[in-house]
Chain A
Amino acid sequence: MIHPTPPGTRDILPEEMRELRALEAALRAAFEERGYGEVATPTIEYADVLRQGDERYANAAYRFFDERGDLLAMRSDMTIPIARLVATRLQDAEPPFRLSYIANAFRAVNPQRGQMREFTQAGVELIGAPAPEGTAEVIEVLSAALDAAGLTRAVVGLGDADLYSQLLAELGVEGERRDLILDRLATHDLVGLELAVDEVEGLDAESRATLLALPAMRGGPEVLDHATELGGEAVARASQRLRATHESLVERGVADRVRLDLGLLRDLGYYTGAILEVYDPALGHILGGGGRYDSLIGRFGRELPAAGFALYVERLHVAQSEEERQEGGEA
């Protein structure tokens, strides 16, 4: 008899579970060691409450009514539930808060592409510590977590979510044209980006060159020098923000695994300032991401700067086994 489970969900058997639990234990120890206490929040929340943090919860994958007729939703990440927790349960406590989690989240991805609809995220939130030190601390914890997972070759991409939109504002690009350009950048369509930029009226050659050059600028701190040469107030300010973070990363001894990336733009609506993506050479997909979200907790009534990251535990596991296989093959 075959009794199916819903698309994108699966059973886990002991052999895999043992490895997953070992990985989670290593991550949990790395978080705890740096003072990030673990929290849990409900798997289901009121849809209205989640929506307050991110409008897109209006389209959450799994929504349903309870017996009283209230609309509930399954969380698609842990950042919004923790923002709610901080603004309510910790409203009288003194920040900063260092919180960690290892929890399942739910998204309506296409399961035929090796993505699961129920998946495990491991991450931290540092709430009440502003940039640049707060951002750098989060990257330091991220680096420790990657080491704890045995992924010593993994790399963190660091960009700035506000750079491109502030540059467009400086150049007077607004409305639909602006939204189109940002959408092209967020969807990695660099050909479409060039077409959209070329349709902006009254753009001088220098500004056009800046808009097209930034998305390809990625590498070490020299990237910031090159960017500053392009000129402009927005680029200068973003470069300054990134430089300050990078200097703190150097002091913390984790700058080597960070690549600056001025083309980075994540499609999550709540990021402000720094954004992160995690790559490992053994895997074609990103291992996780994060960044700053200084206005998110405020949406729940408490103005606090915040930053965090989330790693996909199952992908870490795949990367681990790929790394082991490659090491085995080379030995």
Chain B
Amino acid sequence: MPRVVDLTRAREGGPLKLALPRGALWGETLDTLDRIGVDTAELRSDSRSLVFQSGDLTLVTMRPSDVPTYVEAGAADLGITGKDVLLEQRDRIVYEVLDLHYGACRMVLAGRDGDTALDEDERRLGAMRIATKYPRIAERHFEETGRRAEVIEVKGSVELAPLSGLADGIVDLVATGRTLDENGLEVREEIATCTARLIANRVSHKLRAEEVDDLVERLRPEGR
């Protein structure tokens, strides 16, 4: 039985290592792997293990926001994560090789239904107060549109911020918009559309070019 570290450390000859996002993209990521013939039965049944061996791939599972960290350092050759994560960590040096087209969400600016506080803040105070889990995306959006915002980073349910008066608006990822509806919030501006992306380590992209390209082609959504 090889030690986990032997399986996971970057090795020239070993299986390619693919980082997978647990969380919102998990189900569709496993379906996508099934489609290209990777056996995911073990991943589906065992929720506590972190490292799996399946065919010619080593699969390592983690939070979506950790995927770029592992791939940039070469602890994984490739990884799947959301464009929202990549936008928020845009200084990471990884190859963004493929749009997997699933898990589509919108990054939006939202405010309270019919509330004018956002515009009023900007006019009278010179800046909007915005709560978000994506401070860098938010700051960049306001910078690019020539406005100022006081961006407040929160970790949990961001909808709470405008309800409790911490902020007048939020920048957040929206799939169906139901959470916004339920909390009396509405979309004001759309910032970006985010889908699942395949990323590659800079060195693996060069030294294991054929294997990387082969996996990219297998994962490429049909008809694209």
Q: How far in angstroms is the closest Cβ of chain B from A216?
A: 6
Q: How far in angstroms is the closest Cβ of chain A from B65?
A: 14
Q: How far in angstroms is the closest Cβ of chain A from B7?
A: 12
Chain A residues within 8 Å of B96, by CB: 188-192
Interchain CB contact under 8 A, B207 and A281? yes
Q: How far in angstroms is the closest Cβ of chain B from A250?
A: 20
Chain B residues within 8 Å of A188, by CB: 93-96, 202
Q: How far in angstroms is the closest Cβ of chain A from B72?
A: 7
Chain B residues within 8 Å of A285, by CB: 73-74, 202-203
Interchain CB contact under 8 A, A284 and B12? no
Is A299 part of the contact surface with B, judged by Cβ < 8 Å?
no
Is A329 part of the contact surface with B, judged by Cβ < 8 Å?
yes
> In the docked arrangement, what's the CA distance between A110 and B75, Å?
19
> Restricting to A263-296, which residues have a CB under 8 Å from any CB of B?
277, 279-286
Interchain CB contact under 8 A, A279 and B10? no
Interchain CB contact under 8 A, B72 and A113? yes
Is A9 part of the contact surface with B, judged by Cβ < 8 Å?
no
Interchain CB contact under 8 A, A281 and B197? no
> In the docked arrangement, what's the CA distance between A114 and B75, Å?
13
B74's nearest neighbour on chain A, judged by CB, is A284
> Restricting to A185-200, which residues have a CB under 8 Å from any CB of B?
188-192
Chain B residues within 8 Å of A261, by CB: 206
> In the docked arrangement, what's the CA distance between A197 and B213, Å?
21
Interchain CB contact under 8 A, A284 and B202? yes
Q: How many A-B residue pairs have CB under 8 A?
A: 65
Q: Assuming A114-B73, A191-B98, A191-B99, is B206 touching A284 (CB within 8 A)?
A: no
B73's nearest neighbour on chain A, judged by CB, is A284
A155's nearest neighbour on chain B, judged by CB, is B207
Q: Assuming A153-B12, A190-B96, is B74 touching A259 (CB within 8 A)?
A: no
Q: Digit string of A215-250 for contact with B (CB within 8 Å is 1, else 0)?
A: 010110000000000000000000000000000000
Partner of A219, one of B72, B74, B91, B209: B209
Interchain CB contact under 8 A, A216 and B213? yes
Is B201 part of the contact surface with A, judged by Cβ < 8 Å?
yes
Partner of A282, one of B10, B69, B72, B94: B10
Q: How far in angstroms is the closest Cβ of chain A from B93?
A: 7
Is B218 part of the contact surface with A, judged by Cβ < 8 Å?
no
Is B35 part of the contact surface with A, judged by Cβ < 8 Å?
no
Partner of B206, one of A259, A326, A329: A259
The SS class assigned to the B binding surface is mixed
Interchain CB contact under 8 A, A284 and B98? no
Q: How far in angstroms is the closest Cβ of chain A from B119?
A: 30
Is B11 part of the contact surface with A, judged by Cβ < 8 Å?
yes
Partner of B197, one of A191, A216, A218, A284: A191
Chain A residues within 8 Å of B6, by CB: 329
B198's nearest neighbour on chain A, judged by CB, is A191
> Restricting to B202-218, which residues have a CB under 8 Å from any CB of A?
202-204, 206-207, 209, 213
> In the docked arrangement, what's the CA distance between A261 and B202, Å?
13
Interchain CB contact under 8 A, A284 and B75? yes
Interchain CB contact under 8 A, B91 and A110? yes
Is B117 part of the contact surface with A, judged by Cβ < 8 Å?
no
> Restricting to B68-126, which residues have a CB under 8 Å from any CB of A?
69, 72-75, 91, 93-99
> In the docked arrangement, what's the CA distance between A192 and B86, Å?
12
Chain A residues within 8 Å of B95, by CB: 188, 190
Chain A residues within 8 Å of B206, by CB: 155, 157, 218, 259, 261, 277, 279
Chain B residues within 8 Å of A190, by CB: 95-98
Chain A residues within 8 Å of B201, by CB: 284
Q: How far in angstroms is the closest Cβ of chain B from A27?
A: 21
Chain A residues within 8 Å of B91, by CB: 110
Interchain CB contact under 8 A, B99 and A286? no
Q: Digit string of A172-189 for contact with B (CB within 8 Å is 1, else 0)?
A: 000000000000000011
Chain A residues within 8 Å of B213, by CB: 216
Q: How far in angstroms is the closest Cβ of chain A from B188?
A: 25
Q: How far in angstroms is the closest Cβ of chain B from A223?
A: 10
Partner of B209, one of A218, A280, A283: A218
Q: How far in angstroms is the closest Cβ of chain B from A264?
A: 9
Q: How far in angstroms is the closest Cβ of chain A from B99?
A: 5
A113's nearest neighbour on chain B, judged by CB, is B72
> In the docked arrangement, what's the CA distance between A252 and B143, Å?
52
Chain B residues within 8 Å of A192, by CB: 96
Q: List 12 A-B contacts (CB under 8 A).
A: A110-B91, A155-B206, A157-B206, A188-B93, A188-B95, A189-B96, A218-B209, A219-B209, A279-B206, A283-B10, A283-B203, A284-B202
By a beta-carbon cutoff of 8 Å, the part of chain A in contact with chain B is 110, 113-114, 153, 155, 157, 188-192, 216, 218-219, 259, 261, 277, 279-286, 326, 329
5 closest A-B pairs by beta carbon, nearest first, are: A284-B74, A281-B12, A188-B95, A279-B203, A191-B99
